[in-house]
Amino acid sequence: MNGERAGRHAEALIDLEALRHNLAQARRAAGEARVFAVVKADAYGHGLLDVARALHEHSDGFVVATLGEGEALRRAGVTRRIMVLQGHDSLGEARRAARLQLEPVLHTPPQLDVLDQGHAGLPMRVWLEIDSGMHRMGFDPAEVAPALSRLDGHRALREPPGLMTHMARADERDCPLTQAQLERFTQLTKGQAGERSLANSATLLGWPAALGDVVRPGIMLYGGNPFVDGRELPCTLKPVMQLRTRLLAVRWQKKGDRIGYGETWTCPEDMPVGLAAIGYGDGYPRHAPSGTPVRVAGQDASLVGRVSMDLLTLDLRGVAARPGDEVLLWGEGLSVDSVASMAGTISYELLCAAGARSRRVVLNTGAV
Ligand SMILES: *Cc1c(COP(=O)(O)O)cnc(C)c1O
């Protein structure tokens, strides 16, 4: 490899067997509801096509953000239903969606206008997004009835629009907003035909009254805990991504030596400090503070000093380790949630960043 030492780079190992296990957990929680796996943002950094292929047999559909992602799935042979969260912007895009049998989510009035501008081609399925309280996307409650009457029997549609909404605070235990959103959505859609879809991972696992006909789990498929308080889940999720690298060196530092940029950490005694080949350039969070857990050769260790672009410094007191040993940043035995909470972020961001920037290695494809 161009003279580079093999294995010296950060690698994101993607375990598709763990992914299928997590989907099975989502399906169990979903009961009778159909399960559309959310694969936006390159499947949360895990690789859109690898994930879609691994889940194709087992999911009822997929959810992407853009038409381009939907098209990539169709090109790769995905025949399941595909919901496109941003919908279309023009008649040309509506035609593209219709041709590819993608299911755009309509969230603004201009997207309805597009359907009146001309023939979109094959009749398609669409979703109408209702803003039940998150105030990010979707039709205001007062706009819902007019929008539904515009779509009623529309020649561009092959069936009544699906009705969807998104929860702002389902990740918080007992938050009254979720109940209020559910009630608003139920009231606004009463008596309407069409499928209902309300549930992200947190709603699916925490609010069984709000499942509807189609659930949209994302983070749980990748093994992340969707709840802010990290509460124990009603199912066992397996980490899909193992972010790992190698130990480059171990140095003995003296008591009082200060480590790294800004001298933010001082050795309290003479001690070994490890150097690992990963940093924020590989998607590891720069704001992870001293004390953030890592695993070195299967033992607990922790970060000291600031995260550099491609290096980390580690407290190796009590750890038996040599250059070349594996350093695990998250995965089996070290949850991405624990690292995220130390770094003041959420697992979603870490997975997206590390998956995009590290070399991905796919395991357990199931292909023989
Ligand atoms: C991202 C997203 C989801 C998935 O959310 P998770 O918290 O990852 O389960 C579901 N629905 C919509 C509209 C989304 O944008």
Q: Which domains does the chain have, with CATH numbers?
A: 16-222 (3.20.20.10), 241-363 (2.40.37.10)
Span 11-58, pLDDT tens digits: 999 999 999 999 999 999 999 999 999 999 999 999 999 999 999 999
Query: Using H for helix, E for strand and C for coil, what is the string for 308-349?
Result: CCCCEEEECCCCCCCCCCEEEEEECCECHHHHHHHCCCCHHH
Span 226-253, pLDDT tens digits: 998 888 898 999 999 999 999 999 999 9
Model confidence at 8, pLDDT cuts 50, 70, 90, reads: low
CB 203 less than 6 A from any atom of ligand 1 = no
Could you give the 3-state DSSP secondary structure of residue 109?
A: helix
Could you give the 3-state DSSP secondary structure of residue 211?
A: coil
pLDDT of residue 231: 86
For residue 226, the 8-state DSSP code is -
CA distance 321 to 165: 50
Model confidence at 5, pLDDT cuts 50, 70, 90, reads: very low
Q: Which atom of ligand 1 is nearest to the CA of 220?
A: 9
Would strands 299-304 and 61-64 be described as parallel, antiparallel, or unpaired?
Answer: unpaired
pLDDT of residue 257: 98
Q: Which helix (H) or strand (E) holds 303?
A: strand 299-304
261 labelled catalytic: yes
pLDDT of residue 91: 96
Q: How far is the CA of 151 from the centre of ligand 1 (A)?
A: 25
CA distance 155 to 127: 15
pLDDT of residue 121: 87
CA distance 349 to 358: 14
Position 323 pLDDT exceeds 80 = yes
CA distance 33 to 212: 7
Would strands 299-304 and 293-296 be described as parallel, antiparallel, or unpaired?
Answer: antiparallel
Sequence-ordered list of residues with C-beta below 8 angstroms from that of 215, at least 6 positions apart, any chain: 26, 30, 33, 34, 35, 36, 197, 199, 203, 204
CB 204 less than 6 A from any atom of ligand 1 = no
Position 177 pLDDT exceeds 70 = yes
Share above pLDDT 90 across residues of the chain, in percent, rounded to a whole number: 93
Position 1 pLDDT exceeds 70 = no
Q: How far is the CA of 254 from the centre of ligand 1 (A)?
A: 48
Write the CA distances from 134 to 56, 165, 226, integer angstroms.
31, 9, 17
Average pLDDT score, the chain = 95
Burial class (CB in 10 A: 0-12, 13-18, 19+), 167: buried
Query: Using H for helix, E for strand and C for coil, what is the string for 186-207?
Result: HHHCCCCCCCEECECHHHHHHC
CB 38 less than 6 A from any atom of ligand 1 = yes
Could you give the 3-state DSSP secondary structure of residue 367?
A: coil
Within 13 Å and on the Cβ side, how many CA atoms surround 286?
A: 6
Model confidence at 358, pLDDT cuts 50, 70, 90, reads: very high
pLDDT of residue 7: 55
CB 23 less than 6 A from any atom of ligand 1 = no
Q: How far is the CA of 25 from the centre of ligand 1 (A)?
A: 17
* Main-chain phi, psi angles of 34, to 5 degrees: -80, 150
Share above pLDDT 70 across residues of the chain, in percent, rounded to a whole number: 97
Span 102-132, pLDDT tens digits: 999 999 999 999 999 988 888 999 999 999 9
Position 203 pLDDT exceeds 50 = yes
Check if the beta carbon of residue 294 is closer than 8 Å to that of residue 302. yes
pLDDT of residue 92: 96
Position 344 pLDDT exceeds 80 = yes
pLDDT of residue 118: 84
